[in-house]
């Protein structure tokens, strides 16, 4: 039924549950699993910036390095969980994108036929019943989306 499953991971508890479900499904269906984590663009906003001069390049570069390291750790964890059940998983970091956009773009690029993700990510309760990024993916995905609580 499903041959390529994208599993969105961000290190949160709902993400860990989604990873578990996605890996179990991939193993049962003999499908390829792809873990994807997305990091938002680094922005520097300073009120009254027209009055000061500052080189924000170094600050943004350090933020990007920290996000890349965090993404590496999240994907290493996903690979480790996959190995524990005898499954190899590809890990992909999509930098400088809004989360939902990165998940949707990666799913399209890889020809995925299912997206598995947690109901809420690190941003907490963006909506009453469903996290804002999960709601975005669900609303705009041309393929099935499995939301794990």
For residue 118, pLDDT over 60 is answered with: yes
What CATH number does the domain containing 89 carry? Answer: 3.40.50.620
- What is the rounded CA–CA span in Å between residue 91 and residue 71? 10
User: How many domains is the chain partitioned into structurally?
Assistant: 1
| Domain range enclosing 9 | 4-148
- What is the rounded CA–CA span in Å between residue 126 and residue 116? 19
pTM for this predicted structure? 0.87
How much is the average pLDDT of 128-149?
87
Rg for the chain (alpha carbons), in Å? 17
Identify the pLDDT of residue 41: 87
pLDDT one-digit tens code per residue, 42-57: 766 666 555 556 667 7
Q: Quick one: what percent of the chain has pLDDT higher than 70?
A: 84
């Amino acid at each position: 039924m499903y041959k390529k499953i994208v599993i969105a991971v961000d290190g949160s508890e709902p993400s860990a549950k989604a990873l578990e479900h996605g890996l179990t499904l991939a193993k049962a269906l003999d499908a390829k699993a792809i873990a994807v984590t997305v990091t938002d663009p680094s922005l520097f906003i300073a009120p009254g910036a027209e009055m000061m001069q500052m080189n924000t390049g170094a600050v943004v570069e350090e933020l990007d390095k920290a996000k890349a390291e965090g993404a590496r750790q999240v994907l290493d964890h996903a690979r480790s969980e996959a190995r524990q059940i005898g499954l190899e998983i590809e890990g992909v970091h999509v930098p400088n994108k809004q989360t939902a956009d990165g998940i949707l773009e990666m799913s399209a690029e890889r020809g995925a036929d299912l997206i598995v993700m947690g109901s809420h990510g690190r941003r907490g309760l963006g909506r009453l019943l469903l996290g804002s990024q999960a709601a975005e993916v669900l609303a705009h995905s041309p393929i099935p989306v499995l939301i794990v609580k």
